[in-house]
Amino acid sequence: MLSVVFPKKKKKKNRLAHSLLHTAGEHKVSLHNLLSLLSHLPQNTKMTRRCGTAAALLGLVLSATATATLAAAAPPGSDAREVVNFDFSWRHHLGNTTAPRPYNCTNGTKGVNFGQGGIVHQSVESPAACCGLCAEQGDCLCWDYNIDTSGSDFGQCWTKNELCNQSVPNPLRYSGQVPAGPPAPAVPVEAKTGFDDSDWALVDAPHDMLIVQDYDKAQSEKMGFLARNIGWYRKHFNLPADWQKDSSVWLYIEGSFHVTTIWVNGVEVTRHVQGYTSFAVRLDDIPGIHFGAGSSNENVMAIFVDGSYGTGWWFVV
């Protein structure tokens, strides 16, 4: 839940509270309008418990809470901050919008295993298909494919980016290396303010991006037979001009699995590597942040969530 903590000014409190419109179906949403959409933190927790474990539906929940606090102490008995719900009207896209790097995959080399660690993919058709999965991952540099028919690991594909210049003998593996692609842009196209996200799905948080995929018996039963994946979220919003003075504005994310990177107006502001912990990001001191009404003062927040690896995305089936 995204909340904004800003000073409560008695003369303006009623104006703010009563001039809001529900805009859940619109693409461009101002924080003034979002003040009417307040919800409590326990909502997401309750949903998680219903699914059985602490990870369910916290991955990609994007519950942000922005808060603005007074520098001076508030008068006794008063609350010096407001909480703004930021859960509504996100634009979402599952996967990347850019094409994977071109590479002519083969079955690799039998009897060796390049690299270490990585992400496991179950029931992959062939070594060449495993190589293709590596080429689709922007940071994958090597892979290995399990051909041991004596156990349940046959067809496992590991895609990796660590120690890919090293290998060990293994007669039960096909393995290969994939050349690094061109350097990634400093700012992904999906994070730029001018990127057109108008054809992306309109979603509200809490949101589980994996649940929209087709079920696949080749995927883990414990993960609901759903493939792991990556995804983008974007929101257009305005910050009221009177929040610029004597306030700090924070984005609070209750949970987002597994690696979350946030840009505001094309500026990367944080990268959080943990799906089980909440985190906060200050917004008012970001270079290029805008305050005020109108399209010229519009801000764009882009959130990239990598849920393609890491334990704990469980579903009850």
In a domain, 311, yes or no: no
Cis amide prior to 258 (ω within 30 degrees): yes
Boundary (domain end) residue, out of 177, 201, 233: 177
> Which residue, among 300, 308, 313, 279, has the nearest Cα to 208 in the 3D structure?
313
In a domain, 32, yes or no: yes
Q: Are strands 162-177 and 65-67 parallel, antiparallel or unpaired?
A: unpaired
Are residues 160 and 224 located together in one domain of the fold?
A: no
The amino acid sitting at 129 is A
Element (H, E) at 164: strand 162-177
Are residues 259 and 283 located together in one domain of the fold?
A: yes
Boundary (domain end) residue, out of 149, 177, 205: 177
Are residues 215 and 279 located together in one domain of the fold?
A: yes
In a domain, 128, yes or no: yes
DSSP 73-99: PPPTT-----EEE--S-EEEEES-SSP
Cβ neighbourhood burial of 247 (10 Å; 0-12, 13-18, 19+): buried
Cα gap 210→226, rounded to integer Å: 7
Are residues 91 and 189 located together in one domain of the fold?
A: yes
DSSP 250-268: EEEES---SEEEEEETTEE
User: How many alpha carbons fall within 13 Å on the CB side of residue 17?
Assistant: 9
Are residues 73 and 47 located together in one domain of the fold?
A: yes
Are residues 222 and 249 located together in one domain of the fold?
A: yes
What average pLDDT score do residues 255-277 get? Answer: 92
The strand ranges marked E within 210-311 are 230-237, 250-253, 259-264, 267-273, 279-282, 299-306
In a domain, 316, yes or no: no
In a domain, 3, yes or no: no
Distance between the two ends of the chain, CA-based, in angstroms?
A: 27
Considering the chain, what is the average pLDDT of its residues? 75
Q: Which residues constitute the domain of residue 300?
A: 10-97+185-306
Cα gap 252→272, rounded to integer Å: 12
Given a contact cutoff of 8 angstroms between Cβ atoms, the answer to whether 63 and 1 are in contact is yes
pLDDT at site 286 = 95
The per-residue pLDDT for range 182-197, each reduced to its tens digit, is 777 889 999 999 999 9
Boundary (domain end) residue, out of 143, 177, 211: 177
Number of independent structural domains in the chain: 2
Q: 97-132 burial by CB neighbour count: b if 16+ within 10 A, else e?
A: eeeeeeeebeebbeebbbbbebbebbebeebbebbb
* CATH number reported for the structural domain that contains residue 40 in this entry: 2.60.120.260
Are residues 42 and 69 located together in one domain of the fold?
A: yes
Are residues 82 and 200 located together in one domain of the fold?
A: yes
The per-residue pLDDT for range 44-100, each reduced to its tens digit, is 322 222 222 222 222 233 333 333 322 233 345 545 688 889 999 999 999 877 766
Cα gap 219→238, rounded to integer Å: 41
* CATH number reported for the structural domain that contains residue 153 in this entry: 3.50.4.10
In a domain, 167, yes or no: yes
Are residues 171 and 193 located together in one domain of the fold?
A: no
The per-residue pLDDT for range 232-246, each reduced to its tens digit, is 999 999 999 988 988
Cis amide prior to 171 (ω within 30 degrees): no
In a domain, 315, yes or no: no
Chain position carrying tokens 């949970």: 255
Given a contact cutoff of 8 angstroms between Cβ atoms, the answer to whether 251 and 281 are in contact is yes
Kindly state the percentage of the chain with pLDDT values over 90: 45
User: How many alpha carbons fall within 13 Å on the CB side of residue 169?
Assistant: 1
pLDDT at site 96 = 79
Are residues 164 and 240 located together in one domain of the fold?
A: no
Are residues 227 and 255 located together in one domain of the fold?
A: yes
Chain position carrying tokens 């009563």: 18
More confident residue, 166 or 18: 166
On whether the pTM is more than 0.85, the answer is no
Query: What six digits make up the tokens of 301?
Result: 């927040």
In a domain, 4, yes or no: no
Are residues 60 and 19 located together in one domain of the fold?
A: yes
